[in-house]
Structure 1
Amino acid sequence: MTTKQSAAAFQNEPFTDFSAEVNKQEMEAALRKVKGELGRDYPLWIGAVKVMTEDKIVSINPGDLDEVVGRVSKATQDLAEKAMQAALLAFNSWKKVPAVERAEYLFKAAKLMRERKHEFSAFMVYEAGKNWGEADADTAEAIDFLEYYAREMIRLSETNLHRPLTKLAGENNRLDYIPLGVGITIPPWNFPLAICVGMTAAAIVCGNTVLLKPASVTPVIAHKFVELMEEVGLPAGVINFVPGSGSEIGDYLTSHPQTRFISFTGSKEVGLRINELAAKTAEGQIWIKRVIAEMGGKDGIVVDETANVEEAAKAIVVSAFGFQGQKCSAGSRAFVAAAVYDQVVDRVRELTQQLSIGLPEKNFQAGPVSDLGAYNKILDYIEIGKGEGRLIAGGAKAEGNGYYIQPTVFVDVDCKARIMQEEIFGPVLAIGKAADYQDAIAQFNDTEFGLTGSFFSQDEDQIAYALEEMHCGNLYINRKCTGALVGVHPFGGFNMSGTDSKAGGHDYLLLFTQAKLSSRKQS
């Protein structure tokens, strides 16, 4: 791929239509291929050295607990320190590689990932419990991030050509965006390829080197990404792969004096701890560490008196139960104006009860939740919900040799209830009645989070009110509150939802760079 081609206009990767027989057969072939690779052992990557440790993270298929997806070597503090030194060494040369050349590695990786799209998706079917459509969207987003950030880096490197500084007679001035240094990337398990790729690619294309600490629930798919980057020729040490315990190596690396930034996506509690640790200056540290954090949400859909009831109900169900509600953007709350409340509730119940539950490999609509900890936590919240609202769907475990839970709906729930306020991260929806659209928006805003939201209405004045008053980072009108597309819907939220770092947006790479002005007097 030439630089001219690389700098062409960005276009999102299309989703696969699995109703087409040829696509269905290709996905089934990929699942068979990947199934034959399950149960393998995977090493750490420290510079150019692959390290196999005795202690391993065992990745289990959450939809079939008898199936081991892989055994991934687990880093100790000593190995994490070696990875840090490898990253520091690699940074000395990587930061000098021209931006266009760094971008080419991402373009090459995107090309290979596109060619093997179904294989990457198949690993997430087995490891993350995603059905075909959810896995395919995850892989498509990963491809989008690679290409979008590559083009953004080229754009930033040409800033002086396209957005020149104000001229001053007798001086030549330019502004360059230079890398920060060594960073720690800590992606989540729910988008184990897309967000892992996006966070890591953004950091390295800017000239930084990273220590990638994947989520312990989904380390195999992260390893597949690192393998891909080696295949495209990325220099050793630019990405160092160090799975391990958050309390052992996560805290250690966050507190390390040579860590320049931490890029994190996950829970509010972990994000706040990272922010606290990063704020403390370690001995020998000569900078203020930068934290880029997306920490979850308690998102909701508001339905006013004029809304299309059918479209609103469909959006509520898709937003609440897509990937079992395990999205930081999931619509786990709905606030409905009294005039249409009963109609919306009845239709939501009908649509929820129609969802099929089963093995992701067989492409059921609803699959398992991530692991035993999440399974028990969600079931506990369902019991809490039975005391806070009226149960109209689900409310129990579902059949299967995995972490299956029925999609669950509670109605007549007060906005102060725990299931309205606390992030459950599972297939649990709470619906509350509002007097009117203004009351519904006030209830929507009554949360410590502020990530995504939707407003359903056919009244332009009420839509204008919602656009002004609903406090969240991504607000959608008359559509679901999940499904942000790279470059189309820059993603990030307010308050306890994080640092409002807009992933997939024009300002995102600035978080991984620092601006350096050079001024030269003309002779």
Structure 2
Amino acid sequence: MSNAFFTVKKPLNEPILSYLQGSPERISLKGKLKELKEQRIDIPVIIGGKEIYTGNTKECVIPHNNKHVLATYHLAGEKEIKLAIEAARLAKKEWESVSWQHRGAIFLKAAELLSGSWRTTLNAATMLGQSKTVYQAEIDSACELIDFLRFNTYFMSEIYTDQPISTNDNWNRLEYRPLEGFVLAVSPFNFTAIGGNLPVAPAIMGNTVLWKPSGAAVYSNYFVMKLLQEAGLPDGVINFIPSSGNLLGDVVFNHQELAGVHFTGSTQVFNTMWKTIGNNIEKYNSYPKIVGETGGKDFIFAHKDANVEQLVTALIRGAFEYQGQKCSAASRAYISAQLWEEVRGVLIKEASTINVGNVEDFSNFMGAVIDQKAYDKIKGYIEYAKASDQAEIILGGRCDDSLGYFIEPTIILTTDPHFKTMTEEIFGPVLTLYVYKEEDFEETLDICNSSTIYGLTGAIFSQDRGALIKMEAHLRNAAGNFYINDKPTGAVVGQQPFGGSRKSGTNDKAGSKLNLLRWMNPRTIKETFNPPTNYRYPYMG
């Protein structure tokens, strides 16, 4: 056991590569895209370091070329889920006894590998499997995941240095134990970095994890798992179990050693999880820590003094990057009537130039939505708006799934601030606008604040400081990540810790120490140097 106090270098955020024409990173990525498309891999369940091929399989397809199969992946059944729990239990004792610097070194090595030789693999897998453009893949599966790995290690070291006050007579220590039991991590399709962070955050604190990736992101998430193994992650610390959510819940939520859940996904699924855990609360050895980031209906609110070009850029990037499939995507906007005519002209002109298509063509700004289910849902909202006398589609609205799941960037103008597409989460490239009169400014702020169940992200635009102060105060609880004169997407690890409240989640702020604190079970230790030898106190004399 070392007797030194170790420090971790404070990280800088990973630089974003440009992928300009002729650049080495562009040439390398193009080659990796070609390589991955030319092979069809078989993705196993990974439990205790062993690869298991169950024979119960599904396919990973390219969303923008939905006849092309990238991989077959095997689903964990009840037997495999129970094996994974046992593997996590067996690995726990040794893993939690590994010194924090050695745990951290594994994830720092993973970050370094991803920054180098693994970068093109993760980016290409994310582009193909999730239809992300090169830029969206780079900021996700490379930069953000690297940042999670490095910053989590740094945050861990900072947490461990936080100790209570002692006196001459006693020494008080705070020991940061991992949770007692195993953690379930359930990750979404839309961010490879979230897929990596959900199991890694508990693991770095000494927990062992069952990781259920989204079926629509198994392809890239499998490469994340292989990256962690190459970095030296011990067997059983993270167990990779693609599976049916219902089956997984039946087994895991009935197990007495469930210690925590790290979740990103829909509000409805999270609500069901929470209810199930509550109903089973008598079964558990301890109260499970439940951490979730769920839905959003994120807004942009434009005051009459907003800069039009800045606002339009935020509307387009906020609503249509990655086909609007971000929980933080701008989905509703409130525009001052005094700005509207100018905004309308610039917005339609700019948004009309957006290219939608195969993300392997780097000139495209948007790819396809993730799958048929998402396509049908988004198309349904567009058709609803087309049929309504309270709405007008002023841009886009066309959908085509003959080759890939393509939906044009669509802008809806409504006369009703409570219109369906203003209040319900769509998770696609659909932006609904409401134009308010200046005399209704504060009333419209109230509507923005109260008309949805969510509280994830939001943005306000104005050049008037007084108006910004008023909007910020009025919308204090409307968003956990709040942006002034910027789009409501693109939170950076260490800069804008991410999460919202209301029905957007538990707001435990991924990308900060706050999240890591949830995966600990602290123990206070008091050592007294000169204990009393008589029970009597002086006042009794």
TM-score of the superposition, structure 2-length normalised? 0.92
Asked if the contact 1:281/1:288 (under 8 Å) is kept, the reply is no
C-alpha displacement at 1:507, in angstroms?
A: 1.3
Task: Provide the rounded CA distance (Å) in 2 between the counterparts of 1:286 and 1:28.
Answer: 51
Specify the alignment match of 1:408 in structure 2: 410
Q: What is the CA deviation profile of residues 78-132 of structure 1, one whole-angstrom value per residue up to 9, with x for unaligned ones?
A: 1101100110111111111111111111000001111121221100111001111
Task: Provide the rounded CA distance (Å) in 2 between the counterparts of 1:320 and 1:443.
Answer: 20
Task: Map residues 128-207 of structure 1 onto 2, 5 A cutoff.
Answer: 128-139=130-141, 140-160=143-163, 165-180=164-179, 181-191=181-191, 193-207=192-206
Amino acid corresponding to residue 491 of structure 1 in structure 2: F
Specify the alignment match of 1:381 in structure 2: 381
Asked if the contact 2:281/2:287 (under 8 Å) is kept, the reply is no
Task: Provide the rounded CA distance (Å) in 2 between the counterparts of 1:276 and 1:330.
Answer: 28
Task: Provide the rounded CA distance (Å) in 2 between the counterparts of 1:16 and 1:205.
Answer: 27
Specify the alignment match of 1:498 in structure 2: 505
Specify the alignment match of 1:261 in structure 2: 260
Aligned-residue sequence identity (percent) comes to: 32
Q: 1:27 to 1:400 in 2, by over 3 A?
A: farther
Asked if the contact 1:106/1:146 (under 8 Å) is kept, the reply is yes
Asked if the contact 1:448/1:496 (under 8 Å) is kept, the reply is yes
C-alpha displacement at 1:439, in angstroms?
A: 3.6
Answer yes or no: is 1:111 the counterpart of 2:104. no
Task: Provide the rounded CA distance (Å) in 1 between the counterparts of 2:276 and 2:401.
Answer: 42
Task: Map residues 41-120 of structure 1 onto 2, 5 A cutoff.
Answer: 41-115=42-116, 116-120=118-122
C-alpha displacement at 1:394, in angstroms?
A: 0.8
Amino acid corresponding to residue 396 of structure 1 in structure 2: R
C-alpha displacement at 1:70, in angstroms?
A: 0.9
2:188 is paired with a residue whose SS is coil
Asked if the contact 2:36/2:70 (under 8 Å) is kept, the reply is no
Specify the alignment match of 2:427 in structure 1: 425
| Partner of residue 126 from structure 1, selected from 122, 128, 133 | 128
C-alpha displacement at 1:440, in angstroms?
A: 3.7
Q: 1:304 to 1:260 in 2, by over 3 A?
A: same
Asked if the contact 1:6/1:107 (under 8 Å) is kept, the reply is no
Asked if the contact 1:257/1:281 (under 8 Å) is kept, the reply is no
Task: Map residues 366-377 of structure 1 onto 2, 5 A cutoff.
Answer: 366-377=366-377
Task: Provide the rounded CA distance (Å) in 2 between the counterparts of 1:197 and 1:177.
Answer: 23
Task: Provide the rounded CA distance (Å) in 2 between the counterparts of 1:392 and 1:6.
Answer: 56
Specify the alignment match of 1:447 in structure 2: 452
2:411 is paired with a residue whose SS is strand
Task: Provide the rounded CA distance (Å) in 1 between the counterparts of 2:72 and 2:502.
Answer: 37
C-alpha displacement at 1:21, in angstroms?
A: 2.0
Asked if the contact 2:177/2:521 (under 8 Å) is kept, the reply is yes
C-alpha displacement at 1:4, in angstroms?
A: 9.8
Asked if the contact 1:244/1:250 (under 8 Å) is kept, the reply is no
Task: Provide the rounded CA distance (Å) in 1 between the counterparts of 2:57 and 2:36.
Answer: 21
Q: Which segments of 5 or more consecutive residues in structure 2 lack a partner in the other structure?
A: 531-541
2:503 is paired with a residue whose SS is helix
Task: Provide the rounded CA distance (Å) in 2 between the counterparts of 1:495 and 1:345.
Answer: 32
Asked if the contact 1:255/1:282 (under 8 Å) is kept, the reply is no
The farther-off stretch of 270-279 and 79-88 is: 270-279
Task: Map residues 235-314 of structure 1 onto 2, 5 A cutoff.
Answer: 235-281=234-280, 284-314=283-313
What is the number of residues matched between the two proteins?
515
Task: Provide the rounded CA distance (Å) in 1 between the counterparts of 2:216 and 2:433.
Answer: 30
Task: Provide the rounded CA distance (Å) in 1 between the counterparts of 2:130 and 2:53.
Answer: 23
Quote the RMSD (CA, aligned, Å): 1.6
C-alpha displacement at 1:154, in angstroms?
A: 1.4
Asked if the contact 1:358/1:400 (under 8 Å) is kept, the reply is no
Answer yes or no: is 1:469 the counterpart of 2:470. no
Specify the alignment match of 1:11 in structure 2: 12
Asked if the contact 2:152/2:513 (under 8 Å) is kept, the reply is no
TM-score of the superposition, structure 1-length normalised? 0.96
Task: Provide the rounded CA distance (Å) in 1 between the counterparts of 2:45 and 2:337.
Answer: 56
Task: Provide the rounded CA distance (Å) in 2 between the counterparts of 1:249 and 1:77.
Answer: 7
Task: Provide the rounded CA distance (Å) in 1 between the counterparts of 2:11 and 2:250.
Answer: 37
Asked if the contact 1:484/1:490 (under 8 Å) is kept, the reply is yes
Task: Provide the rounded CA distance (Å) in 2 between the counterparts of 1:278 and 1:41.
Answer: 34
C-alpha displacement at 1:158, in angstroms?
A: 2.1
The farther-off stretch of 24-33 and 196-205 is: 24-33
Specify the alignment match of 2:224 in structure 1: 225
Task: Provide the rounded CA distance (Å) in 1 between the counterparts of 2:51 and 2:185.
Answer: 19
Task: Provide the rounded CA distance (Å) in 2 between the counterparts of 1:202 and 1:391.
Answer: 43
Task: Provide the rounded CA distance (Å) in 2 between the counterparts of 1:438 and 1:351.
Answer: 30
Q: 1:4 to 1:513 in 2, by over 3 A?
A: closer
Specify the alignment match of 2:213 in structure 1: 214
Asked if the contact 2:110/2:149 (under 8 Å) is kept, the reply is yes
Q: 1:461 to 1:337 in 2, by over 3 A?
A: same
The farther-off stretch of 175-184 and 233-242 is: 175-184
C-alpha displacement at 1:399, in angstroms?
A: 7.1
Q: 1:353 to 1:4 in 2, by over 3 A?
A: farther
